[in-house]
């Protein structure tokens, strides 16, 4: 078990966490950014960005259906969800690589693993303690169900909706 000391320890590498890490580093603070999954969090991987990519594909399909009304000879045939999902994944991948490169270019220590606040200013990850003068909890969100409503079949989470391989 090792002890690490920083000016700022941030638990969560989503939109709020990485923004806090970048700004703290910009202000000359020593920073530890702890993330259990991938930098970018829900917005980049399972929320805002993939949703916008899917909406863009849907808009293109809709405009194609209406092309004749614009004087354009185009015909809508179908939606290939494999291609749509590759388009979505390509956008996510490019933005993730950009974010990872940006964070790596700054004096930010990125710690992979699930962190737990174990003392007022200490987060423990994989048996190591990260103590900060300031600790920021930016742990994000997850899909929840309503009581009595079972997920599966016709009821799916937003994460599942974004991963469909067919047009709903």
Looking at residue 64, what is its pLDDT?
95
For residue 34, report the phi and psi dihedrals to the nearest 5 degrees. -105, 125
Q: Is 121 exposed, middle or buried (0-12, 13-18, 19+ CB in 10 A)?
A: middle
DSSP strand E in 12-146: where?
31-35, 108-112, 115-119, 122-125, 128-137
pTM above 0.85, yes or no: yes
CATH superfamily of 9-13+33-162: FAD/NAD(P)-binding domain (3.50.50.60)
Q: Are 130 and 124 in contact (CB under 8 A)?
A: yes
Q: At what angle do helices 81-104 and 48-65 cross, to 10 degrees?
A: 140
Report the alpha-carbon distance of residue 158 to residue 49 in Å, rounded: 13
pLDDT in tens, 111-141: 999 999 999 999 999 999 999 999 999 999 8
| Mean pLDDT, rounded, of the chain | 95
């Amino acid at each position: 078990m090792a002890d690490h000391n920083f000016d700022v320890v941030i638990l969560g590498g989503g939109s709020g966490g990485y923004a806090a890490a970048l700004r703290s580093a910009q202000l000359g603070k020593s920073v530890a950014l702890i993330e259990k999954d991938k930098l970018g969090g829900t917005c980049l991987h399972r929320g805002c960005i993939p949703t916008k990519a899917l909406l863009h594909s849907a808009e293109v399909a809709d405009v194609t259906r209406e092309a004749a009304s614009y004087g354009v000879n185009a015909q809508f045939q179908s939606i290939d969800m494999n291609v749509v999902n590759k388009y979505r994944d390509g956008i996510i991948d490019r933005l993730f690589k950009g974010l990872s490169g940006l964070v790596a270019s700054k004096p930010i220590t990125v710690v992979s693993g699930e962190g737990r606040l174990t003392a007022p200013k200490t987060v423990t990850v994989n048996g190591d303690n990260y103590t900060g003068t300031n600790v920021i909890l930016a742990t994000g969100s997850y899909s929840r169900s309503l009581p009595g409503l079972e997920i599966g079949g016709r009821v799916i989470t937003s994460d599942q909706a974004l991963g469909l391989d067919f047009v709903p």
